[in-house]
Chain A
Amino acid sequence: MIRWLRPPTAERQLLPETRLSGPMPWMLAIMMVMTILAGAATLAIGNAVVRIGGDLERRVTIQLIEPNPDRLEAQRAALIVYLGAESAILHHEEVGAAELRQLLAPWLGADVLGDDLPVPVMVDAELRPGARLDVIAARIKRVAPAARIDNNAAGLAPVADLLGTIRVIALMVMVMMLAAIMTAIVLAVRGTLNTHRSTIDVMHLMGATDAQLARHFQRRAALDALFGGLIGLAVATLIIALLGQRVAAMESELTGAASLGLSDVALLTMMPLAAAMVAALVARVTVIRTLRKML
């Protein structure tokens, strides 16, 4: 790679070395910030969607609402036994009466909640990944007909939908930015080809091959893209770090779910390199196609 970026003098002498000058690398840097941010958003929101779809969906709350205390107690006991025996339930935990009262107090007022007011039984359970909620629910209904099963994620479904949509949009923005970057490179290469047209003619007449000329342009485009990509990455990292701080400060489970894993960070870090490679390829194709029209 290094050798390729720093060719022997002979190759460098062929055309004027104009890289890292002019607005091109800076424009690429700006576009790369956008691209990396869009990429980060795609990945982070993707993580959130997975988290909601996975963790939250697997957590259910079972409520027993039964006015008759005896029947309530009987069903509670049956439910606990069943949950303990069911292999699709990873673990379960009954929410204690005291805790429940605390939860309810703000709604009903502490004085109303005497010992005589029947408090429902609540059990939190976590399903084994891949377990089917409807099957489990049917079985629970059989042992405890008074059970009402709440899927925590059910309430989050619209949020998950929204996140999914935002994710698709972020992905589209990223793809469009990449397309814009490639177009910019094509235009820049064509411009340079025009500027150096007479030089290229002379070099052709001296027996330079299209590949020789293309190598020069593709190296230049790759260096521009790499430079722009690294600057873009630095700026984008700053923005993401700032945003991450704000999100952490919110201490919300939902926003916390939208985080970047190590592999995501690695992927984003690779983007400048990928951009350089794509830029080289685009430049090569552009140059060869243009040169082929000459004699």
Chain B
Amino acid sequence: MAAIYASDHQAASIAVSNMVIRFLELWIMALRHGPCCAIAKIMSGIVQFENVGLRYGTGAETLSDISFTLRQGGFYFLTGPSGAGKTSLLRLLYLAQRPSRGMIRMFDQDIVTMPRDILPGLRRKIGVVFQDFRLLPHLSAFDNVALPLRIAGVREREIQAPVQEMLNWVGLGERGAARPATLSGGEQQRVAIARAVIARPEVLVADEPTGNVDPDMAARLLYLFDALNRLGTTIIVATHDLHLLSRITSAEMIRIDNGRILDPTGTLRNPPGARTYRPQ
């Protein structure tokens, strides 16, 4: 793992400087508005949902009364039975959908009322592993992974090495030239994961990211998420796989069923040794 992010001095220094800047921000805020305000900012989190409802078309609500806050730098698992609304919730998170009601704040922006033209800027801070991968069929695995960097306008010579390194990490170093159609399901999923994390997003949203790989690879991919998390990325992973939950001891768990967060009054059940998660 060290090879991917830590050996990259730039990455480490960026992470450190980000932390310093954030600390200075909070410090200035504390001086200006008093410590309560600074603490409120820390507590307010990077993502806030309040009484969010989502309805597709005219049917019943797919999601109802969803309220929670994601801390910056947190690691969250989203679980629940098939059809519970996990993907729908994640779609709201990666800004593919506006809610039918309620309030969502991300990156200190009101997502419900924001103008459309600030969307690209916000989306570039979010990495997504789609449940159905959604690799671009006309691009090679390499170009698929490079896509977020190219969209962000990163220069070509700064793209080659990191993308190759990322492909090596997910075990596809030799398959960079392959089109998605010629890759197995698990291989496609790994390309999708590489694509989601390549630009070091502030928030990573992964929908069943290990559904198609063997347990060893699943552990390896989870390690990748964990490394990213240590660099400050907030991570939310939807999964059925209970083994995964026990691997990240610091992770918190959000359970939904039938479009609602379970245990809305009490403490959510967490993996052994983890902190407790309290919905707002």
Contacts and interface: CB of A to CB of B under 8 A. Distances in A.
A206 B119 contact: no
A15 B138 CA distance: 8
Given A14-B150, A205-B123, A207-B151, A199 B136 contact: yes
Interface of A: 8-11, 13-16, 198-199, 201-209, 212, 292, 295
B151 A203 contact: yes
14 contacts: A13-B143, A14-B150, A15-B138, A16-B138, A202-B134, A202-B136, A204-B123, A205-B96, A206-B124, A207-B120, A207-B148, A208-B151, A292-B116, A295-B97
Interface string B113-142: 000110111111000100000101011000
Contacts of B94: 205
A144 B184 CA distance: 105
A202 B63 CA distance: 23
Nearest to A203: B151
Interface string B43-59: 00000000000000000
Nearest to A209: B120
Contacts of A16: 138
Given A13-B146, A207-B119, 4 more contacts: A10-B153, A13-B150, A206-B128, A295-B97
B152 interface: yes
Contacts of B71: none
Contacts of A13: 139, 143, 146-147, 150
A209 to B, nearest CB: 5
B147 A9 contact: no
Contacts of A295: 95-98, 116, 119
Contacts of A15: 138
A10 B160 CA distance: 12
A206 B94 CA distance: 9
Contacts of A209: 117, 120
Contact of A205 (B95, B98, B152): B95
